[in-house]
Structures are given as C-alpha cells and as structure tokens.
Amino acid sequence: MKYLVLIPDGAADYPLAELGGKTPLEAAEKPTLDRLAKKALVGTVLNVPDGMVPESDTANLAILSYDPAIYSKGRSPLEAMSMGLTMNPGDIAFRCNVVTVSEEEEEYEEKTMLDHSADEITTEEAAELIRAVEKELGTETRAFYPGVSYRHCMIWNNPPAYREFCRPHDFPGQKIRDKMPPEPYASLLRRSYEILNRHPINEARRARGLKPANSIWLWSPGAKPALPSFKEKWGLSATVISAVDLIKGIGICAQMESVDVPGATGNCKTNFSGKAEAAIDAFRRGRDLVYVHVEAPDECGHRAELENKVWAISQISEKILKPVVKWLDGCGEDYAVMVLPDHPTPIVKRTHTSDPVPFLIYRSGKEEDGVDCFCERTAAAKNFYLPHGYKLMSLLTENGREKNE
C-alpha cells in the first residue's frame, strides 16, 4: 500500500468578492484534485488545538500524528535540525527573519513592518546579511546562522528570560512599537538595523527597485524537540519533500527521509514538477508514504497576492498531484491520497488563522460519496468534522490505532 500526503500550505481562505464570492481553492482550475474529490472521503479537520498559535509547525505535527499539545516546542528548533545545526543542553533556537521596516528618521520602535520576507530576498543575498549580523552581534553563547531566503536562525545558550514573540507576518503595515520583544532582544533588533540598512547588499537592492532587508526580527523560541519515530509508530517508511526548513526539520526529528528538490523555493517560483518527480522516485525506491509540502499558497496569502494564490493551487493540482497519481495508478499496488491545507492563510488577514480546513482521502478501488469541487464550502457541507488533526493518520491508513499502542 502506498500513501501520498499533499499539503498545499495555507491554501484555505475566506470567500472573496474579487472571486465572485468564491475562495481561492474554489476558484482555482484543479481538475485532478476535483476528480479525486468526487470519489473521496471529504470533511473538515482542526489541526491547531484551541489556545495554540496557528503556526505550520503545530499544524504539520498534527497531520503527521504528533499531538501538538505534547510535541510542539516552537518552529525554530525544528528549522535548526533541518539546517544541520547542533543544539546542546541549554540551547534555545529563535527564528530570525530578515525583514523590511520603514526607513524614515524615527526611533526604531516607531518604524512600520513593511515586509516580513524583504521582497522574498534571495538566499545568497540574505546569507551575506546574516554573516554581517553574526560578525557584530554574535558572542561565545549566541550565534546567527543563514538559512533559506528570509528564514534564518539564532541559537543562544541559556538566554535571558523570554516569552512568545510577535510574528512579523502578523502585522504588515503596522507600527512595531507594541510588537517589540523584551530586552535584551529588542536591542538586537535596533542594532541590526544599524548594521543592515546601508549594507551594500541593500543598496544594490534599492537600485534594482527591491525592498531592503534592513532589520532582523526574532520570534518562535524553543528547545530541541524529541519526536517518536514515524516508522515505529506506523510501520511505514516515509519521505518528506519540502523547501521549508521547518517541515524538513519535523521529518528529520521523526526519522523520516528528507529530500531536497533543486529549484524548490518556498514561494510561487518553485519547482512544482521537481517535487512530483521526487515523490515518484521515493515510491520507486520502496517508500511507503510520501509527504509533499508546498509553501506557495501560504506565501501568497501573507503577501495578499490573490491571483498568485489561485494560480499556485492550480499548479499543485496539475504539476504535482496529476503526475504522481498517474504513476500510482500504474504501480501495481493499492494506494491512498490525502490532500489538505495545514491551516488557512486568508488574503484579507495576511496571516494564519485557526479555522478548520477541508481534507480529502481518496483510495484506489473504492468510491466514496465525495464532492464536485474540493473547497471549504463543499467540505463543510459534508458534516464530517475531525476535532483533532493528529487522528488523520489513523483515518488515512485505516489503522484503528498506532503500531506502538
């Protein structure tokens, strides 16, 4: 038995007047996804437990059967694991975005958060900026490490007291005064602006009409997580395919294989077809379950790019789902496909919400009373609701319980 799990990150949304009252998921041309939905089990699921922050680490942990209330330790340590960083006792990892804040002559606290991704800065440019920050702000117990695009990491051994920091994608266009972390973390943000605002990389970006990555922003601190082996839980060999360090980190911590795809970026300019090829290759190599995560719809939601979000959903259906299902149809084994967003990233909010999301589970050789169009509205109308996302894997594999229970 083969299992494909496809996660169009943040694809769920709200009805929009610009789409005639449809959501991006409902408006997208996605014939393959809708064809499966007609014969699939369709419903809604809550991946983010009440009281927890609607982040991708929480939601994807749930989908992979790890109860977030037990296993969620923040996204940053998962990203650190994916980056190959060593976390020692007492180490706390922090997500370190490079962001764009306003440049007017005002106190740092009076600046405005313009872009949490600094115009989706390239990995090469951002790496040089993070090296500049490390040179000035790194110490024997605190270090900054470059990651992918705007996503980076700070690790601090036995850091000063901290609380959950504000996420930069939660307040685009707003003043940062009320969003600032406590000291000494706030001082790091101020000093980073002094280091980065007139850095040659940013001067070159301005000359090209791009936003400068003129500050860091710290958030999501956490200690090293410990996840039970996915294979020991389910008896399935599994591969995770994602451009996002967070998702790769979950896979690595769960002792899943993590596959990097050339040209996979975490935004709309990603290698959709390459992810399909990697999934097919994993199945050919004998993997039982392949978990394909695509960040593009989420980034479009954060950036309020409606047309791109609709387009990204269609590309996921036709450039990833279609070829993988075609291969599974001819592989000589039964298979199941589960498709769902991890959480909504509504265009009007430009950040994650905790609403339930639609899901489908299609099984070869079995017909369910599905829906004509896979979207939020039709899924809710089925009146099949799962309040705990970490139960999805049992539903997909038709195991009444996990292997180790």
pLDDT at 401: 40
- The pair of structure tokens assigned to 52 is 């927890």
pLDDT at 203: 98
Q: Pick from 2, 47, 138, 22: which is nearest to 358 by CA?
A: 47
Find all residues with CB under 8 Å of 70, minimum gap 6, and list them: none
H helix intervals, 271-382? 272-284, 296-302, 306-315, 322-329, 376-381
Q: Vertex 239, ends 296 and 146: CA angle to 5°?
A: 55
Identify whether 54 is preceded by a cis peptide bond (ω within 30 of 0): no
pLDDT at 225: 79
Q: Is the pTM of this model over 0.85?
A: no
Burial class (CB in 10 A: 0-12, 13-18, 19+), 67: middle
- The pair of structure tokens assigned to 328 is 């599974």
pLDDT tens for the chain, 405 residues: list them.
999 999 999 999 999 999 999 999 999 999 999 999 999 999 999 999 998 988 888 999 999 999 999 998 778 898 898 898 999 999 999 999 999 999 987 899 999 999 999 999 999 999 999 999 999 999 999 999 999 899 999 999 999 998 879 999 999 999 999 999 999 999 999 999 999 999 999 999 999 999 999 999 999 899 887 899 999 999 999 999 999 888 999 999 999 999 999 998 888 989 999 999 999 999 999 999 999 999 999 999 999 999 999 999 999 999 999 999 999 999 999 999 999 999 999 999 999 999 999 999 999 999 999 999 999 999 999 999 999 999 999 999 987 444 443
pLDDT at 404: 40
How far apart (Å, rounded) are the C-alpha atoms in residues 272 and 112?
34
Helix (H) or strand (E) holding 7: strand 2-8
Residue 223, classed as helix, strand or coil, is coil
Q: What type of residue is 229?
A: S
Interior/surface letters 353-385, b for 16+ CB within 10 angstroms, e for the rest: bbbbbbbbbbbbeeebebbebbbbebbeebeee
Which residues on adjacent β-strands are paired with residue 12? 344
Domains and CATH numbers, the chain: 2-71+226-397 (3.40.720.10), 91-222 (no CATH)
Backbone φ and ψ of 292, nearest 5° = -105, 120
Backbone φ and ψ of 294, nearest 5° = -125, 115
pLDDT at 357: 98
Q: Around 158, how many Cα atoms within 13 Å sit in the side-chain half-sphere?
A: 3
How far apart (Å, rounded) are the C-alpha atoms in residues 55 and 75?
8
